[in-house]
Amino acid sequence: MSGTMNLTLKVWRQKNATTGGSFETYAARNISPDMSFLEMLDVVNEDLIKGGKEPIAFDHDCREGICGMCSMYINGRAHGPVKGVTTCQLHMRSFNSGETITIEPWRAAAFPVIRDLVVDRRSFDKIQQAGGFVSVNTGAAPDANSIPVPKANADEAFNSAACIGCGACVAACTNSSAMLFLSAKVSQYALLPQGHVEAKRRVANMLKAHDEAGFGSCTNTEACEAECPKGISVSNIGRLNAEFAGALFSGE
């Protein structure tokens, strides 16, 4: 077929978290450059199924760069070679025909492999559950402007809330730290007056959940920001440290 690509895939295959895994090699033939990376894997899986072989397990949901589930390491980079996109938004025109592509799951103790390229990211849920809430009074909806919020704070809180919890920051960090994710979730509340009520308990509880899950400490290399598909800033980690220091000195 004219204009198509032929690629070689080296894919990590692992039955479950308790068994060892290894790379297996597959051919991806007649791939359109306009396909997304996940669509390419769909084609490869169709060929595997037709041949009576087990398809490659990988995670996905929205395929619109929103849910964060398409987490995989591609040629040594979280989500692949293109900056600012998730795996599902990565197109095959970013590669060359004849190229060999190595595909792995996230590598972190806190993200155990479920199968092949699928990892268990429920540790992120535990971090959010440890402090991701605000107290509100029920009843009639308040007027939109009843609690004034400076625009700069509102914009920065929105940018922090853009984190999709994919785990690329953890995969990129040599210590498998989730500080960028954690700091974004703390910041989205810390910047708004609605989040001040539980602020001190929130940061302490979320940091405790982070450490208990097995994530490492921050390396300060900023690799997390470089690989984050949503461009979450490491300035959030500075805010996280300030919030935690405030909680310590308050004695709460």
What is the sign of the dihedral through the CA atoms of 169, 175, 179 and 181?
A: positive
Domains of the chain, by residue range, sit at 5-114, 122-250
Given this model, what pLDDT does residue 252 score? 55
Question: Token pair of 45, please?
Answer: 């899986």
Q: What are phi and psi of 179, to 5 degrees?
A: -65, -35
Confidence check: pLDDT of 90 > 90: yes
Q: What is the pLDDT of residues 192-222, one digit of tens each?
A: 888 787 888 899 999 999 999 999 999 999 9
Tokens of 225: 């920001």
CATH code of the domain made up of 5-114: 3.10.20.30
- Partners of 28 in the beta sheet? 7
For the entire predicted model, the pTM comes to: 0.90
Cβ neighbourhood burial of 21 (10 Å; 0-12, 13-18, 19+): middle
Strand order in the sheet with 100-104: 21-31, 5-14, 100-104, 73-74, 77-78
The CATH class that applies to domain 122-250 reads mainly alpha
The overall average pLDDT reported for the chain is: 92
How many CB atoms sit inside 10 A of residue 174's CB? Answer: 9
Residue 206: the pLDDT is 94
Please compute the mean of the pLDDT values over residues 228-252 and round it to a whole number.
88
The fraction of the chain above a pLDDT of 90, given in percent, is 80
Q: Could you tell me whether strands 100-104 and 5-14 are parallel, antiparallel, or unpaired per DSSP bridges?
A: parallel
Helix (H, G, I), strand (E, B) or coil at 248: helix
Q: Do domains 5-114 and 122-250 have the same CATH topology?
A: no
pLDDT interval class at 99 (50, 70, 90): very high
The yes-or-no verdict on residue 59 having pLDDT over 90 is yes
The number of C-alpha atoms within 13 Å of 184 and in the hemisphere containing its C-beta is: 23
Looking at residue 26, its pLDDT comes to 98
> Is it the case that residue 141 has pLDDT exceeding 80?
no
